[in-house]
Structure formats: structure tokens, C-alpha cells
Amino acid sequence: MAVLDNPRHEAFARALAEGKSATEAYVAAGYRFNDGNCIRLKGNERVTARVAELQGRAASRTEVTVESITKRLFEIADEAQRMKEPAGHSVARSAMMDAAKLNGLVIDRAINENWHHDVSNSPPTEDEWTEAHSTH
């Protein structure tokens, strides 16, 4: 849908899309305060469609995706490498690792070496502790 023919209707739709109330949008569009008219204009089919279009455009511009983050991390890495300093190379490496992790190419893993121990809510007796920590 294109810009609305009536400039005031377009201004009203834009103000609604920005999150203003119908009353605020109506006054911002250059109309005199009138609760009934602002509600009627808000219900206008063309105005409603225009508001939906404007909000959809705004949402697509601000959508964050793995692809958009990865692209930005690559840009950061390129900028940092051009610094020709050790700090820049460190930032570049870090940005590339973040991109690799984000895309599932690197997985951080931790090893739990305590898996074989019994877990109890009560502390061990002195004999149990001695048995577990003695060097046989």
C-alpha cells in the first residue's frame, strides 16, 4: 500500500504506528481534539491497513536473526583486523569465535568428573570420609 492520499490521514496512521493513542495521533495529525472522530478515523479500513504496513516495516528493520548477528560479528572482525595491532587481532579472533559458536561450529563442553560419587543430603561419617580419601 502506498502513502495515503490525505496527508492528515497519513500523519495519523504514522502516529498510531509509532504507538500514540488515537487521541494523541489525531491531534498530532493537525485535527482538533475530538474523541469520536479519532476513533472513527482509527477504524477506517485504509488507515488500519496503512498502520499495519508501517508496523510491519518497522518490525522487519529491527528483526534480529542469527544471520544479522553473524554479519555484524564479521564486520567487527574485519574492522579490528585493519587496526594492525595486537589488540585488534584479539578482538577479531574473539568476534570470529563468537560467530562460530552462534552458528554451531564450536560447542563449549565441560567435563563433570564428580559423576561417579554418591550424592547425599547428609555429610559423610568420619569412617566414610576416611575410606573415600585414604590412599590404599
Our CA dihedral for 28, 32, 35, 37, rounded to 10 degrees, sits at -100
CB 74 within 8 A of CB 93: no
Q: How confident is the model at residue 127 (pLDDT cuts 50, 70, 90)?
A: confident
- Residues contacting 48, CB < 8 A, separation 6+: 42
Average pLDDT, the chain: 86
| Residue with cell string 585493519 | 82
For residue range 5-29, list pLDDT tens digits in order. Answer: 999 999 999 999 989 999 999 999 9
Give strand ranges (E) for the chain.
none
Which cell is 4 given? 495515503
| Residue with cell string 589488540 | 87
Q: Taking residues 112-125, report their average pLDDT.
A: 69
For residue range 48-85, list pLDDT tens digits in order. Answer: 999 999 888 776 666 678 888 899 999 999 999 998 88
State residue 123's pLDDT score.
Answer: 79
CB 23 within 8 A of CB 31: no
Our CA dihedral for 72, 74, 80, 83, rounded to 10 degrees, sits at -120
Q: Which of 32, 110, 101 is nearest to 70 (CA)?
A: 101
